């Protein structure tokens, strides 16, 4: 797409700080900027530590939403999973209660400062909460080394896992973990997230037979169209996930999930429940464990009162303007 003038983006930029009800990625607030264009609103919310090269992909996704639009859906309904942060096992029932109707849960493991026993207790509580028919998937965010990953997954496999997402970070190590588990007779599938969205060559996951599934997120892959290309090129089953988005960003994830040719697994698009605020009147909240494509329009209708209520400070707005400009410069150079 031809880039709109930077001045247009900065003049209309809206920045908010949304509170979280559970500490996530070490933060209690989610800062997000919004860009409005002829096709709607785009969400720009790369995590605060991301440099312009990485953040530019998120800007591309926001511009796609605002100025290009998304492909037509091939399904009307998308199942979603509950998300359980690295909370104590005693808090698991409280977290699961926010995700009424979800029969699948993604559980954070390998948290810094915690032990494998903490993970075991948390996963056991989730399995107990979902019952034997529920699906339990784990997300380690690359927090283990190879040997620790194999040992941990071998122990956690007792809870009948759907898959383990990114147990280690380097894609070569991911392939090693997958081979080691298979050689040991541990029947747990491996999913790649960072090895795809943070990689210069996402197809190495396929070349090295490093994963059974791919986790795709719209913003880090530069938009819905970019994520669809990754799905086509890898040929792996896809699970669409959010990046702790507010409703406008979540709408992009739902648009991707609705447009994928095949969708075998529940998607990680229920994390609105981790926020204590939003910028639309009708948040993109699952009903009965599902989202519907019909919810997209409401999820992109910015509410002026909520924008003002959660408006970031002038200092933070200026910081986000600088960030948009730096990311824009990267896109313009390409």
Active site residues: 108, 217
pLDDT at 26: 73
- Residue intervals of the chain classified under CATH 3.30.390.10 are 6-69+303-333
193 annotated ligand binder: yes
pLDDT at 202: 78
pLDDT at 23: 76
Q: Answer whether CATH 3.40.1190.20 is correct for domain 77-299.
A: no
139 annotated ligand binder: yes
156 vs 62, 127, 159, 185, CA distance in Å? 38, 11, 6, 14
Rounded average pLDDT over 179-205 = 90
Rounded average pLDDT over 218-224 = 95
Which among 217, 220, 140, 200 has a CA at the least distance from the CA of 174? 140
Write the pLDDT tens digit of every residue in 116-152: 999 999 999 999 999 999 999 999 999 999 999 999 9
User: Strand pairing partners for 213?
Assistant: 191
Tell me if the pTM is above 0.75.
yes
Write the pLDDT tens digit of every residue in 50-86: 999 999 999 999 999 999 999 999 999 999 999 999 9
Q: How confident is the model at residue 199 (pLDDT cuts 50, 70, 90)?
A: low
Q: Is 207 exposed, middle or buried (0-12, 13-18, 19+ CB in 10 A)?
A: exposed
pLDDT at 274: 84
- Residue intervals of the chain classified under CATH 3.20.20.120 are 77-299
Coil, helix or strand for 36?
A: strand
pLDDT at 100: 87
pLDDT at residue 21 greater than cutoff 90: no
* % the chain with pLDDT above 90: 90
Rounded to whole angstroms, how far apart are CA atoms 198 and 221? 9
Q: Which residue has the higher pLDDT, 274 or 282?
A: 282
Domain 6-69+303-333: give its CATH code: 3.30.390.10
165 annotated ligand binder: yes
């Amino acid at each position: 797409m031809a880039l709109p003038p930077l001045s247009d983006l900065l003049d209309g930029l809206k920045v908010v700080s949304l509170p979280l009800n559970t500490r996530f990625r070490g933060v209690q607030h989610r800062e997000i900027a919004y860009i409005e264009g002829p096709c709607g609103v785009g969400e720009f919310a790369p995590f605060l530590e991301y440099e312009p090269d990485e953040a530019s992909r998120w800007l591309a996704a926001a511009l796609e939403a605002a100025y290009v639009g998304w492909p037509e859906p091939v399904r009307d309904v998308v199942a979603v999973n509950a998300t359980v942060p690295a909370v104590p096992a005693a808090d698991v029932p409280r977290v699961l209660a926010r995700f009424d109707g979800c029969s699948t849960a993604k559980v954070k493991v390998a948290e810094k400062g915690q032990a494998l026993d903490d993970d075991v207790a948390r996963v056991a509580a989730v399995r107990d909460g979902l019952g034997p028919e529920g699906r339990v998937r784990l997300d380690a965010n690359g927090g283990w080394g190879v040997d620790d990953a194999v040992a941990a997954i071998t122990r956690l496999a007792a809870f009948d896992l759907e898959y383990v997402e990114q147990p280690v970070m380097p894609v070569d190590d991911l392939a090693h973990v997958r081979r080691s588990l298979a050689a040991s007779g541990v029947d747990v599938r491996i999913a790649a997230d960072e090895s795809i969205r943070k990689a210069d060559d996402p197809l190495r996951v396929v070349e090295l037979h490093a994963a059974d599934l791919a986790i795709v997120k719209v913003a880090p892959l530069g938009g819905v169209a970019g994520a669809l290309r990754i799905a086509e090129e890898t040929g792996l089953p896809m699970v669409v996930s959010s990046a702790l988005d507010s409703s406008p960003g979540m709408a992009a994830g739902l648009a991707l999930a609705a447009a994928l040719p095949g969708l075998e697994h529940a998607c990680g698009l229920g994390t609105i429940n981790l926020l204590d605020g939003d910028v639309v009147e009708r948040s993109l909240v699952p009903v009965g464990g599902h989202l519907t494509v019909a919810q997209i329009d409401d999820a992109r209708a910015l509410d002026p009162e909520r924008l003002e209520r959660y408006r970031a400070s002038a200092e933070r707005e200026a910081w986000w303007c600088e960030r948009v400009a730096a990311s824009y410069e990267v896109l313009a150079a390409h």
